[in-house]
Amino acid sequence: MIKGEVHKNLLASEIEVLKSLKNCDNIIEVYDIYNTKNNTYIITELCDGGDLAKMISSRRSFSEAEAIPLMNQVIHGYNQIQNKGIIHRDLKPANIFLRTGEIKIADFGFAMKQSDCRRYSSYNVGSPVYMPPEALNENKYSFKSDIWALGVIYYEMLTGKTPWRAKT
């Protein structure tokens, strides 16, 4: 259920972003979007390999030789997002899924087009551990925000923990 104007804008932005990322490698495929009176359903491909967060948790850490091919896929997917002028704003292992060994970036609920940055500058979104200082302090998001998150993800893959802890 949509609770307020902020959630309505975020859902509309997510749907617009997902439609623009159709048929991109390493991005979750959206098959259809259904709207009913009270709900919106986003039908995506099944990624039954779990997510990267669970994989890190179960393995504790990856060697560089294991992490690099996975990060190459994440970066390939991110490049497609960036080439479409989109900032994800919530890249983290829990939003990176696996499907038969292939990485799929998902959860575009906070994503927006770069051109909308000023319009949504009052919304502070994302997961604090993966957010850069400028997003935490000033609600400023850019492609650099996502690149920061990619660095945190890679660090977490190699060490089994994030560089710092944060709940807020």
> What pLDDT, on a 0 to 100 scale, did the predictor assign at position 102?
93
Average pLDDT value for the chain: 86
In a domain, 167, yes or no: no
> What pLDDT, on a 0 to 100 scale, did the predictor assign at position 110?
85
Model-level pTM? 0.87
Interval 45-64: pLDDT, tens: 999 999 999 999 998 889 99
Q: How many residues would you count in the chain?
A: 168
> What letter would DSSP give residue 93?
G
> What pLDDT, on a 0 to 100 scale, did the predictor assign at position 142?
82
Q: Catalytic residue, from 90, 107, 116, 146: name it.
A: 90
Interval 64-120: pLDDT, tens: 999 999 999 999 999 999 999 999 989 999 999 999 889 999 998 888 877 665 555
Inter-residue contact 132 to 138 (CB < 8 Å): no
CATH number at residue 49: 1.10.510.10
> What pLDDT, on a 0 to 100 scale, did the predictor assign at position 22?
85
> What pLDDT, on a 0 to 100 scale, did the predictor assign at position 64?
95
Domain that holds residue 67: 5-159
Interval 62-80: pLDDT, tens: 999 999 999 999 999 999 9
In a domain, 80, yes or no: yes
Q: List Cβ neighbours of 30 (8 Å cut-off, separation of 6 or more).
A: 18, 19, 21, 22, 42, 43, 44
In a domain, 168, yes or no: no
Is residue 48 flagged as an active site residue? no
In a domain, 164, yes or no: no
